[in-house]
Amino acid sequence: MLKQMRTNKRLQLLLGFLMGIFFGFFLQKGQVTRYDVLMGQLLLTDFTVVKVILTAILVGMLGIYPLKWYGLVTFHVKEGSLGSSGIGSLIFGIGFALLGYCPGTAVGAVGQGSLDALLGGIPGIMVGAAIYSVIYPIVRDKFQPLGNFGKITLPELFKVGEKKAVLAVSVLIIFVLSVLELVAF
């Protein structure tokens, strides 16, 4: 039944659309589609973004790991290296602070009427993606192999069981969120 669902292309397009509606709805309700909230996070004056993202990671992890243990879902762990994840994320981070939105929240910002995201951010991201498609062979050959650590997960890296890792990360996230609440950001 799941297999049939996942291979039905039309159904998947519809599901993608429906899930997108929820995604956009939650992002906007969480206020993380706002420039002021996103920049507040980067300026360390507003911790809404960290609260939303850590809660989502915690709840998400506590669902998808059990589903994986029962064989219901497959993970999609991306390959990483210092040359790709490291350099790429630094370029991304600088752009993030200049634009004040990331790709998903920029689309959400357009939904609430932010014209800077519509006319500046989104065309910019597409131009950036086009530039990358041209430089891709160089990045793939010269940068991405540097410091490759492959498709590994934290439990594999620290050689602990998945259940222990999930528990440890959960405790850590709850601890960080509690500290944030106590310091009253």
In angstroms, give the least distance from the CB of 178 to another protein.
12
Which residues in 41-60 contact another protein (CB under 8 A)? 42-44, 48, 51-60
Tokens read off for 174: 């709850």
- Given phi > 0 = left and psi -120 to 50 = alpha, else beta, which region is 46? beta
Q: Show the binding pattern over residues 143-182: x = contacts another protein (CB under 8 A), - = does not.
A: x-----x-xxxxxxx-------xx--x-------x-----
CA distance 154 to 65: 13
Considering the complex, state which of residue 75 and residue 175 has its C-beta at the smaller distance from another protein: 75
Which residues in 69-88 contact another protein (CB under 8 A)? 70-82, 84-88
In angstroms, give the least distance from the CB of 51 to another protein.
4
Residue 134 as a binder of another protein (CB under 8 A): the answer is yes
CA distance 34 to 105: 8
CA distance 115 to 102: 15
CA distance 140 to 146: 10
In angstroms, give the least distance from the CB of 94 to another protein.
5
Considering the complex, state which of residue 126 and residue 179 has its C-beta at the smaller distance from another protein: 126
How many residues at the interface with another protein, by CB under 8 A?
130
- Tell me if 69 sits within 8 A of 87, measured CB to CB: no
Which residues in 97-126 contact another protein (CB under 8 A)? 97-100, 102-117, 119-126
Q: Which one of residues 4, 17, 159, 184 is an interface residue with another protein (CB under 8 A)?
A: 17
CA distance 62 to 83: 31
| Residue found under tokens 């993608």 | 16
